[in-house]
Chains A and B, each alone.
Chain A
Amino acid sequence: MKLEIKNLHAAIDETPILSGVNLTISSGEVHAIMGPNGSGKSTLSKVIAGHPAYTVTEGEVLLNGENILELAPEERALKGLFLAFQYPTEIPGVHNANFLRLAYNAKLKYHGKPELDPLEFDELIQEKLALVEMDSDFLERSVNHGFSGGEKKRNEILQMLVLNPGFALLDETDSGLDIDALRIVANAVNTFKSPDNAILMITHYQRLLNHIIPDFVHVMANGKIIQSGDKDLALQLEEKGYEWLLESVG
């Protein structure tokens, strides 16, 4: 699995937000993007996933060498791209377990494998539920509807574990989590992590990176990556703030 972002420019309602992002992520790697509010971090994740509100004005996003920008969001997902949303959408009335089974079966079908019936799927999901320390009655509820902030985030991670994507984008998965929930989510992500998949985390804070150690840390500002380094960069940021970097980069 290899994701290459080349000179990516994107806009919403003609307002440019990304102005030339370059980044390559390969299997077995964990990357983190940090940056102040409004730097374009979340936009980057939505553009990669294909949100219809954004227009790509320049550049490419290659997944295993194939440009995915022309693909519908569901096609990107079926090719192994997973976005854990910063604000997971509520879908009232739609059963959480059925939603997941539908998504899981869509993937099986795409790979030409037989679909699972509800009983078979239940076995699979019980095991994943334990990883995020959730009760099975959680599956009986509507997708994200009436969930607390922390429950929504755990649900995203549960979906990631079930769908087992080759490339996972975690958009501020740590925000809204208390200390216990953060530990649970981090443990789940660490369990998920393997030489066969790649992870990109988007976060404001260093604290997530204490639990999930990144191989690379990038800092975004004004729609670009302005600095890259290893996990020490995050520590420096924690200590000195973004201003320090913005000034030193000019």
Chain B
Amino acid sequence: MSQSLLNELTSREYKFGFKTDIESEIAPKGLSEGIVRYISKMKNEPEFILEFRLKAFRHWLTMTEPTWANVNYPKIDYQNIHYYAAPKAKKKLDSLDDVDPEILRTFEKLGIPLMEQKKLANVAVDAIFDSVSVATTYKKKLLDAGVVFCPLSEAIEKYPELVKTYLGSVVPFTDNYFAALNSAVFTEGSFVYIPKNTISPMELSTYFRINTEDSGQFERTLIVCEENSYVSYLEGCTAPKFDTNQLHAAVVELVTLDNAEIKYSTVQNWYAGDAKTGKGGIYNFVTKRGKCLGKKSKISWTQIETGSAITWKYPSCVLIGEESVGEFYSVALTNHFQQADTGTKMIHIGKNTKSTIISKGISAGKSHNTYRGLVQMNKSAINANNFTQCDSMLIGNLCSANTFPTIDVRNGTGTVGHEATTVKISEDQMFYAAQRGIAPEEAMSMIISGFCKDVFKELPTEFAVEATQLLGLKLEGSVG
């Protein structure tokens, strides 16, 4: 019974599967030093960025694709991808009036209106279409507060010193195969800089849209929060339906100094591939990491992963500053042929550092859902503390739920508590709801949303609603 219900819930047509017809500047397929130079030239970059790219590219050539994740996919042909695709613009985009109306309509259809009169009230949005940022709202208001929120390419031009200091400082290009690839060919992303003693006056958000077939998206986001500052940042993503797989290999780097806090939330709804055949969909191979450099600083990751054919993603925290805090809240829902291998790493280095991990995995259809995590406490991490709760829900008998945590404590003062359980939707719960007149689809949504509550409540309100709806939930307000 429950399987068919879940199918009803999750196999509703992918709403964001349309493609925008627009003239684009597309790099020829393939990857070479020439392409890396082409991207750098298209973006008018200074020498130090080109150097960074080339070093990364040369290093990437020496690496092999990782195979340890619990996911299966045919070998990716890296020469069959467009590494750069940008809507053709007649001139430099200075205001929204210069943006192709077709693109504005696209974002409006996605629920991200950019026009002055319609834009979201409390959220500044950077809209990224394939390889370029097409618009950033509320830029001026933010700048007045001292907050820099702009496309990374603009930051390279305007704030080269900051970029030089922090780019690659959290995720070096040597880190892993996809991070090296990203470092060579990254095309766009957001840059956020919050100066000392500043609370960002609004939520910042980047919306990623892949539009061009056979193109990859390689965005790179960098957020730096100086002493006593705070920012909440959200990202959302969608893509059209194509029969071929598309690669999304992003890098996100976060840095917090003393007493600073970054709250980073993701609602990931990339195209997951065809429900019946599993054809197409996004390969979401992402490296996200934050460094709590400062004393009492905090980085909190919240992710709602519902899309992508394959997800390979471990938003992590390196807790260096004394008393720094890392958090990871995750809901990963897989259905049909989706595969997700996701989790986090909490590396405790400083004294009295603390981390919390709450992960909820829901698998249905023929999908595979894996939590993979590492909690490491080095010798220097005196009195470090971690709590982990990892729950899985299976719906049907053709899917799997796996939990692969590693705990490594290298001192005599660290404490770790890890719990993992499996949960099922019981016949009694369904009957109880039915006896109160609640239809089965609704009851199921409600129970799943209840299962995810501890994660949903971490989302900014603007996203909580979206996330709830995403899981096919009608019980508004129960979360958050």
Residue B439 lies at the interface, judged by CB distance under 8 Å to chain A: yes
**A99–B442 alpha-carbon span in the complex (Å):** 11
Residue B366 lies at the interface, judged by CB distance under 8 Å to chain A: no
The answer to whether residues A52 and B436 also contact, given A93-B452, A94-B447 and a CB cut-off of 8 A, is no
A73 contacts B478, CB within 8 Å? no
Q: Which residues of A contact B475 (CB under 8 A)?
A: 94-95, 98, 102
B438 contacts A93, CB within 8 Å? no
A51 contacts B447, CB within 8 Å? no
Residue from the list B428, B450, B451 in contact with A89, Cβ < 8 A: B428
Q: Which of A77-94 contact B (CB under 8 A)?
A: 77-78, 82-83, 85, 88-94
**A143–B431 alpha-carbon span in the complex (Å):** 14
Q: Which residues of B contact A197 (CB under 8 A)?
A: none
Q: Which residues of B contact A202 (CB under 8 A)?
A: none
Residue A49 lies at the interface, judged by CB distance under 8 Å to chain B: yes
A89 contacts B437, CB within 8 Å? no
Closest-CB distance, B457 to chain A (whole angstroms): 10
A163 contacts B437, CB within 8 Å? yes
Residue of A nearest to B436 (CB): A103
**A16–B468 alpha-carbon span in the complex (Å):** 43
**A72–B442 alpha-carbon span in the complex (Å):** 14
Closest-CB distance, A222 to chain B (whole angstroms): 26
**A100–B437 alpha-carbon span in the complex (Å):** 10
Q: Which of A121-150 contact B (CB under 8 A)?
A: 142-143
Residue B63 lies at the interface, judged by CB distance under 8 Å to chain A: no
Prevailing SS type, chain B contact patch: helix
A91 contacts B432, CB within 8 Å? yes
B436 contacts A93, CB within 8 Å? no
The answer to whether residues A77 and B436 also contact, given A91-B447, A93-B452, A94-B478 and a CB cut-off of 8 A, is yes
**A74–B447 alpha-carbon span in the complex (Å):** 16
A74 contacts B477, CB within 8 Å? no
Residue A110 lies at the interface, judged by CB distance under 8 Å to chain B: yes
A110 contacts B434, CB within 8 Å? no
B245-269 CB mask vs A (1 if < 8 Å, else 0) is 0000000000000000000000000
Closest-CB distance, A154 to chain B (whole angstroms): 16
B404-436 CB mask vs A (1 if < 8 Å, else 0) is 000000000000000000000011110111111
Residue A179 lies at the interface, judged by CB distance under 8 Å to chain B: no
**A102–B435 alpha-carbon span in the complex (Å):** 12
B440 contacts A74, CB within 8 Å? yes
How many residues on A have C-beta within 8 angstroms of the other chain's C-beta atoms?
35
Q: Which of B115-160 contact A (CB under 8 A)?
A: none
A89 contacts B429, CB within 8 Å? yes
A77 contacts B477, CB within 8 Å? no
B432 contacts A102, CB within 8 Å? no
A163 contacts B436, CB within 8 Å? yes
A102 contacts B429, CB within 8 Å? no
Residue B454 lies at the interface, judged by CB distance under 8 Å to chain A: yes
**A93–B448 alpha-carbon span in the complex (Å):** 9
The answer to whether residues A88 and B432 also contact, given A93-B453, A98-B475 and a CB cut-off of 8 A, is yes
Q: Which residues of A contact B231 (CB under 8 A)?
A: none
Q: How large is the interface on B (under 10, 10 to 19, 20 to 34, 35 or more residues)?
A: 20 to 34
**A157–B474 alpha-carbon span in the complex (Å):** 25
**A206–B175 alpha-carbon span in the complex (Å):** 73
**A95–B476 alpha-carbon span in the complex (Å):** 11
B477 contacts A93, CB within 8 Å? no
Residue from the list A88, A95, A103, A142 in contact with B437, Cβ < 8 A: A103
Residue B181 lies at the interface, judged by CB distance under 8 Å to chain A: no
Q: Which residues of A contact B431 (CB under 8 A)?
A: 49-52, 73, 89
B439 contacts A74, CB within 8 Å? yes
Q: Which of B86-142 contact A (CB under 8 A)?
A: none
Q: Which residues of B contact A107 (CB under 8 A)?
A: 437
Interface centre among B426, B435, B438, B474, by most chain A C-beta atoms within 10 angstroms, is: B435
Residue B464 lies at the interface, judged by CB distance under 8 Å to chain A: no
B435 contacts A83, CB within 8 Å? yes
Residue B446 lies at the interface, judged by CB distance under 8 Å to chain A: yes
B437 contacts A94, CB within 8 Å? no
**A82–B434 alpha-carbon span in the complex (Å):** 10
B426 contacts A89, CB within 8 Å? yes
Q: Which residues of B contact A38 (CB under 8 A)?
A: none
Residue B449 lies at the interface, judged by CB distance under 8 Å to chain A: yes
Q: Which residues of B contact A11 (CB under 8 A)?
A: none
Residue of B nearest to A93 (CB): B450
A102 contacts B450, CB within 8 Å? no
A61-79 CB mask vs B (1 if < 8 Å, else 0) is 0000000000011101110
**A100–B446 alpha-carbon span in the complex (Å):** 12
Residue A53 lies at the interface, judged by CB distance under 8 Å to chain B: yes
Residue A241 lies at the interface, judged by CB distance under 8 Å to chain B: no
Closest-CB distance, B445 to chain A (whole angstroms): 10
B435 contacts A49, CB within 8 Å? yes
**A91–B446 alpha-carbon span in the complex (Å):** 9
B446 contacts A99, CB within 8 Å? yes
Residue A159 lies at the interface, judged by CB distance under 8 Å to chain B: yes
B435 contacts A77, CB within 8 Å? yes
**A102–B434 alpha-carbon span in the complex (Å):** 11
Residue of A nearest to B475 (CB): A98
B450 contacts A94, CB within 8 Å? yes
> 5 more A-B contacts (CB under 8 A) besides A91-B432, A93-B450, A103-B433?
A49-B431, A74-B435, A74-B437, A98-B475, A102-B474
A-B contact pairs, 18 of them (CB 8 A): A72-B440, A74-B439, A77-B437, A85-B435, A88-B432, A89-B429, A91-B432, A91-B433, A91-B446, A92-B450, A94-B447, A94-B453, A95-B450, A99-B446, A102-B442, A102-B475, A106-B442, A142-B453
The 7 closest A-B pairs by CB, nearest first: A93-B450, A93-B453, A94-B450, A73-B434, A103-B436, A77-B437, A89-B432
